[in-house]
Amino acid sequence: MDFTSVVAKKDTSSGTALLLGRYEVGKLLGHGTFAKVYYARNVKTDESVAIKVLNKEKILKCGLMAQIKREIAILRRVRHPNIVQLFEVMATKTKIYFVMEYVHGGQLFQKVAKGRLKEDAARKYFQQLISAVEFCHARGVYHRDLKPENLLLDENGNLKISDFGLSTVSDQIRQDGLFHTFCGTPAYVAPEVLGRKGYDAAKVDIWSCGVILFVLMAGYLPFHDHNIMAMYKKICKGEFRCPKWFSPDLIRLLTKLLDTHPKKRITISEIMENRWFKKGFKHIKFYIEDNKYCSIEDGDHDVGSSSDHSTYSESGAEFETRKKVASLPRPASLNAFDIISFSPGFNLSGLFEEGEEGSRFVSGAPVSRIISKLEEIAKLVSFTVRKKDCRVNLEGSREGAKGPLAVATEIFELTPSLVVVEVKKKGGDRGEYEEFCNKELKPGIENLTREQSPEPEPAPAPADADKSYAISDTEEN
């Protein structure tokens, strides 16, 4: 990574170049399509941070700048001990920098991968998760991609929610009172999202929390199948079995969390009154001072009016801000190694895996229209079309390095209004296959799904969208 364009000065004691004159950048922690994350140290405070570096050219080219601005606006709303904190956002002509809280304990997923958790440990993490989700919902923010991979652990073993790349706000609700963007991670997505008829984002988050609780206690997913279409059908039907070590109280709670009817699904307030959930739950209050979260024990006196504090009761999502001279801390940040691309109709990265020899995508278009589109694409490149039921094979006539290119597509119905199309290379050179998919197949299908899909949700820009990316100290209401 070349930091020369933004180095303001050098640390004379060590000769190390400083990013923007404040951060000593260390090892690479991870990377994704649009971002790289580095460990860094604030030379003034000696605090460890994580700095996510985004390539502005790539962001602009892919039309994701509005998404970045939306993430900033969302993160300014959610400052909570169980959410990864964002300290500041800065930008140069070529890069955008997210300076984030450095979380030492890794992903909760890594802990679960070693085996299921004991009930008390799972309950503690679930309590912290629900407390943070309750706070987000009270602030009009919905995560929409909750899963163990997006839950981090600090050095004290406390949970921290990260990766708000798919989050949304209540301002984006349609006139019917619902959200319509199809997003999430397959195994954790709620059944109503699959129906593409609109959904309550709060209930979608609750469903994901239910899947997470099951995974923590069982060590495996409640809805699992190697065939993704079969897994989605299980989700739509709510088919899952609890292992014998689950207590009756836990089973009853999971049944309410994973109710396929959103209106019947348990609410956050009802979860917090549930007998299994309440066991050992501590009603913690906290205030924010000097960019740090400080707990307040029951019975403590008023923290005082001479300094600026923000207080929040975990039990009731009560958030009180007291005016003061000092500035509020900057918000929590997503600690992710990638920014998921939002495409109105063709979203591979956020929904399905793309393997070495093929990929899958979703569409709301009729099967007949998809087949017609595949025939149109084949005609443009002089490919032969062979059809049988919902299978369409496209075969090239030109001999390549490994023979003529052959592409097989198969359409599966997931719901009456949603299909999954699987694309695989059956013959020919890999490079030719990728070129055909990128230049012909994907653009053609993308245009088709855009024609069939509803208008995407507008992404609200923060008040200072056209100004510097440095976050001000005034909280956005």
Mean pLDDT of the chain: 75
Q: Rounded to an integer, what distance in angstroms lies between the CA atom of residue 255 and that of residue 240? A: 9
pLDDT at residue number 212:
96
pLDDT at residue number 239:
87
User: Is the predicted pLDDT of residue 5 greater than 80, yes or no?
Assistant: no
CA atoms within 13 A on the CB side of 228: 21
Q: Give the rounded distance of the alpha carbon of 32 from its chain centre.
A: 14
Segment 230-259 mean pLDDT: 94
In the chain, pLDDT over 90 holds for what percent of residues?
28
Q: Where in the chain is the domain with CATH 1.10.510.10?
A: 108-278
73 or 102: which leads in pLDDT: 102
Q: Going by C-beta distance under 8 Å and a sequence separation of 6 or more, which residues neighbour residue 324?
A: 305, 306, 307, 308, 309
pLDDT at residue number 73:
78
Model confidence at 357, in pLDDT bands (50, 70, 90)?
low
Give the helix/strand (H/E) hosting 41. strand 35-42
User: Is the predicted pLDDT of residue 328 greater than 60, yes or no?
Assistant: no
pLDDT at residue number 358:
66
Q: Where in the chain is the domain with CATH 3.30.200.20?
A: 4-101
User: Is the predicted pLDDT of residue 322 greater than 50, yes or no?
Assistant: no
pLDDT at residue number 404:
80
User: Is the predicted pLDDT of residue 12 greater than 70, yes or no?
Assistant: no
Segment 31-59 mean pLDDT: 89
User: Is the predicted pLDDT of residue 471 greater than 50, yes or no?
Assistant: no
Segment 192-209 mean pLDDT: 88
- Residue 192's closest CA among 432, 329, 203? 203
Does this model's pTM top 0.75?
A: no
pLDDT at residue number 349:
35
Query: Which of 277-281, 296-300, 391-395 shows the lowest mean pLDDT across its residues?
Result: 296-300
Segment 188-210 mean pLDDT: 89
Which CATH topology does 4-101 take? Phosphorylase Kinase; domain 1 (3.30.200)
pLDDT at residue number 297:
44
pLDDT at residue number 223:
92
User: Is the predicted pLDDT of residue 473 greater than 50, yes or no?
Assistant: no
Model confidence at 179, in pLDDT bands (50, 70, 90)?
low
pLDDT at residue number 152:
93
Model confidence at 312, in pLDDT bands (50, 70, 90)?
very low
Segment 108-131 mean pLDDT: 93
pLDDT at residue number 337:
29
User: Is the predicted pLDDT of residue 133 greater than 70, yes or no?
Assistant: yes
Ligand-binding site membership of 285 (annotated): no
In the chain, pLDDT over 70 holds for what percent of residues?
69
Kindly give the interhelix angle for 119-138 and 201-218, rounded to the nearest 10 degrees: 170
Segment 10-23 mean pLDDT: 66
pLDDT at residue number 271:
97
Model confidence at 335, in pLDDT bands (50, 70, 90)?
very low
Segment 166-173 mean pLDDT: 65
Q: Where in the chain is the domain with CATH 3.30.310.80?
A: 358-452
474 or 114: which leads in pLDDT: 114
Q: Rounded to an integer, what distance in angstroms lies between the CA atom of residue 401 and that of residue 240? A: 48
User: Is the predicted pLDDT of residue 330 greater than 70, yes or no?
Assistant: no
pLDDT at residue number 229:
87
Which CATH topology does 108-278 take? Transferase(Phosphotransferase); domain 1 (1.10.510)
Burial class (CB within 10 angstroms; exposed 0-12, middle 13-18, buried 19+) of 206? buried
User: Is the predicted pLDDT of residue 430 greater than 70, yes or no?
Assistant: yes
Model confidence at 182, in pLDDT bands (50, 70, 90)?
low
6 or 140: which leads in pLDDT: 140
Q: Identify the active-site residue in 11, 46, 120, 145.
A: 145
pLDDT at residue number 154:
92
CATH code of the region 358-452 = 3.30.310.80
Q: Rounded to an integer, what distance in angstroms lies between the CA atom of residue 125 and that of residue 82? A: 10
Segment 214-224 mean pLDDT: 94
Model confidence at 326, in pLDDT bands (50, 70, 90)?
very low
User: Is the predicted pLDDT of residue 369 greater than 60, yes or no?
Assistant: yes
pLDDT at residue number 198:
79
Is 205 labeled as catalytic in the residue annotation? no
**Residue 422 backbone zone (phi > 0: left; psi -120 to 50: alpha; other: beta):** beta
Burial class (CB within 10 angstroms; exposed 0-12, middle 13-18, buried 19+) of 150? buried
- CA-CA distances (angstroms) from residue 376 to 179, 270, 370, 372? 33, 53, 10, 6
Query: Which of 3-7, 16-20, 143-147, 252-256 shows the lowest mean pLDDT across its residues?
Result: 3-7
Segment 167-176 mean pLDDT: 62
pLDDT at residue number 183:
59
User: Is the predicted pLDDT of residue 295 greater than 80, yes or no?
Assistant: no
Segment 235-260 mean pLDDT: 95
DSSP per residue, 345-388:
S--HHHHS-B-SSEEEEEE-S-HHHHHHHHHHHHHHTT-EEEEE
Segment 302-318 mean pLDDT: 34
